[in-house]
Structure 1
Amino acid sequence: MSNPGSAPMKIAGMTSRAAVAVLVVLVIAAALPLLLSNYRIELATEILIFGVLAMSIDILSGFAGRTSLGHGAIFGVSGYVVVYASAQAGLSPAAAILLGVIAATLVAVVFALLAVRTSGVYFLLLTLALGMIVWGICLRWTQVTGGENGLRGDVRPAFLVGHRAFYWAVLAATTLVSYAMWRFVRSPFGLTLLGIRDSESRMKSLGYNVPLHLFIGFAVSGFFAGVAGALYALFNNFVSPSTVALQQSVEGVLMMIAGGVGTLFGGFVGAAAIIALENVVSAYTERWQTVLGLTFIVIMIFAPDGIIGMLRAILVFRFRSSPHIAEPRFELGNKDTS
């Protein structure tokens, strides 16, 4: 009989080392509200929400090789439906959230039907055009969307009104959603998406239905963007055409790239970097978008693999330069390390 302690314990598909690292991060994240002011708690909450949006974009861009500029619209549609269903239709927050996520997924399905047979710049431009259509509808359909004035309502349940309580609720939801996305990209289906990204023609020759896989990947990605949009509606209690505007999609893509394309969890790193930069710089100048653009250029030149990629390269270089230390493994694998 083998000794149970001879191999690392596995938790939810991770090695014990990876599971411990995740638990440490979650404990630190859960303790943040005890140390931060209400304003900084709101920033931390916003980082979690937009981290989920960036991760949903990374499912397509990093794992399927399709970069979408329409996810901001999908994100915003969920927010609109949540606020309207709760404030105007009088539904419960739970029902409103469910409808918002369903609406966002349906919009993603429509986008996918039109876009999956394209690639490269054509996919980018088509999703951009579809997002602009959604923005135009939200701007002009004033009876439902409120037009330029947007929609406002107390969407958040009474027990989540406090800053700390809502942060912990968002952290719990974000943890579950992040784990679901991680399992999705590491599933056989996710590995197929990686194959499509690397060589679409080879996957076709092997008998894979590439458009169907991309369609499902887009729909799943839209579902998670809808979850982020629903959380944002609870966070902000307000939606407007700017919620579905191109800028929302662009910021999500920037967060993904800044964190690291194909790293998935880099979405949180990128969201933290972009949101922190926005708030710090905007306190000193109204031209914070110029600073943001310059920062992005610097990242693309000196860290093309994102912040996580840069840190990974630094660690690998240091471990390789020390002959007595084994090179670290960064992937959350399913193989035993014993």
Structure 2
Amino acid sequence: MSAPDRPEGAFAASTAWRWLPLGIVVLLALLPFAVGEYFVNLASQVVIAVVFASSLNLLVGYGGLTSLGHAAFLGISAYTSAWLTTRMGLGHAVTAPAALMVTTAMGMLFGWISLRASGLGFLMLTLALSQIVWGLGYRLVSVTNGDNGISGLTRPHPFGWDLDISSNYYWFSLAIGCLCVYLMKRLIESPFGASLRGTRDQPRRMAALGYHVWAIRWTTFVASSFFAGVAGLLYVYFHKYIHPSVTAVPVSAEALLSVIAGGAGTVYGPALGALLVVVLKNYASAFIERWNMMLGLVFLFIVVFMPAGLVAGLSSARRRLSRGRA
């Protein structure tokens, strides 16, 4: 059906759907005026998880590269910022860019190593590298303070804005999170994103067409590590504490679960998945002792009835509802 012949109702519905993300952001910005401090802090944790899961989605959803070591970049960024702040006495204006630079450099190295394999081999290499970082977190006591972690950290005060107030920090993290998701969306929708999806679906054909498949994947790996580093900064600012457990496998597994549950290869799928995981982990666990079992049942339900994830399932339900109304 051509554009002029499109029914007016369908056009209005598609336009409303296009503006839905902006409306959700506006509602999220108003959240501190409607709920208490506990839920504001919970929302801040959701934002951090969204940035982290979305960074992993670049690899898993669009690159077809499943990683179980993504938490290493979150930990490297957080530890770099904490160490430079506590041991070197540097301000956040210096430590934040330095942490992102170090994390991106480690992403370059880890990507160069991990992309020597694909499929299961890639997954095992990322897992092994993450375990090395996890082990160093406990062993390098002079840098990481071992099992005691690094405490006594502070939050930045950009332009005199006191981020120690929970609502201020939520708005700060929401702004950073929206910017990161927007940049990742632009990257995905760019010609580079199209070539990345091509290497995921038809790597041999892309190579035959003259594309450097390894370079495209390596660049994506580096970009993914950068955004994971942003999540690491938000994490350490929120908790004002960092422990080696943040680089453990369960942290990477939770992010991977968020991507799969929300919908790998979709822009907003990881956000829905991260919301589900964080709420069950922090809120439902206060009422249900076996919240891990509940999370497993929810994930099983999604896999059985929405195998492509929540975003695809909800979009399919919306289309069916629209056809029914028509």
TM-score w.r.t. the length of structure 1 is 0.88
1:232-251 alignment, distance < 5 Å: 232-251=235-254
CA deviation vs aligned residue, 1:78-97 (integer Å, no higher than 9, x gap): 11111111122211112111
The Cα RMSD (Å) is 1.5
> Aligned letter for 1:79?
A
1:54 paired to 2:53: yes
Q: Deviations over 1:180-203 (max 9, x none)?
A: 110011111111000011111111
Counterpart CA distance in 1 for 2:23 and 2:287 is 35
Q: Note if 1:223 corresponds to 2:218.
A: no
1:281 to 284, 287, 304: 284
Does 2:182 align with 1:183?
no
Equivalenced residues, count: 309
Q: Does residue 294 of the first structure (1) align with residue 297 of the second (2)?
A: yes
Q: Are 1:206 and 2:206 an aligned pair?
A: no
Shift of 1:287: 2.8
**SS of the residue 2:35 aligns to:** coil
Amino acid at match of 2:132: I
Return the alpha-carbon distance in structure 2 between the equivalents of residues 222 and 53 of structure 1.
Answer: 9
* Partner residue, 2:87: 88
* 8 A contact 1:56–1:225 mirrored in 2: yes
Partner of residue 28, structure 1 = 27
2:308 aligned to which of 297, 305, 313: 305
For residues 83-141 of structure 1, what are the alpha-carbon distances to aligned partners after superposition, in whole Å with 9 as ceiling and x for unaligned? 11112221111211111111211111111001123211111111011100100011111
Q: What CA deviation, in whole Å up to 9, does each residue of 1:203-239 have, x standing for no partner?
A: 1111111111111010011101101111111011111
The alpha carbon displacement at 1:177 in A equals: 1.1
Residue 5 of structure 2 is matched in structure 1 by: none
Deviation at 1:155, TM superposition (A): 2.3
CA distance in 1 between partners of 2:295 and 2:21 (Å): 30
Q: Distance in 2 between matches of 1:103 and 1:297?
A: 38
**Alpha-carbon distance between aligned partners in 2 of 1:17 and 1:115, rounded to the nearest angstrom:** 42
Structure 1 CA distance for aligned equivalents of residues 130 and 153 of structure 2: 27
Q: Which residue of structure 2 lines up, in the alignment, with residue 37 of structure 1?
A: 36
Please say if 1:271 is aligned against 2:274: yes
Unaligned runs of 5+ in 2: 1-13
Residues 187 and 126 (structure 1), Cα distance of their counterparts in 2 relative to 1, 3 Å cut? same
Match of 2:3 in 1: none
> Structure 2 matches for 1:70-89, cutoff 5 A?
70-89=69-88
Paired residue type of 2:241: F
Contact 2:268 2:311 in 1 (8 A): no
Cα pair 1:78 1:227 within 8 Å, conserved: yes
Q: Could you say what secondary structure the match of 1:69 adopts?
A: coil
Say whether the 8 Å CA contact 1:83–1:155 is kept in structure 2.
Answer: no
- Unaligned 5+ segments in structure 1 are 1-14, 325-338
Instruction: Say whether the 8 Å CA contact 1:86–1:153 is kept in structure 2.
Output: no
CA deviations over 1:18-69 (Å, ceiling 9, x no partner): 6632321121010001111111001100101110110001101111110111
Between 1:20-29 and 1:230-239, the stretch displaced more is: 20-29
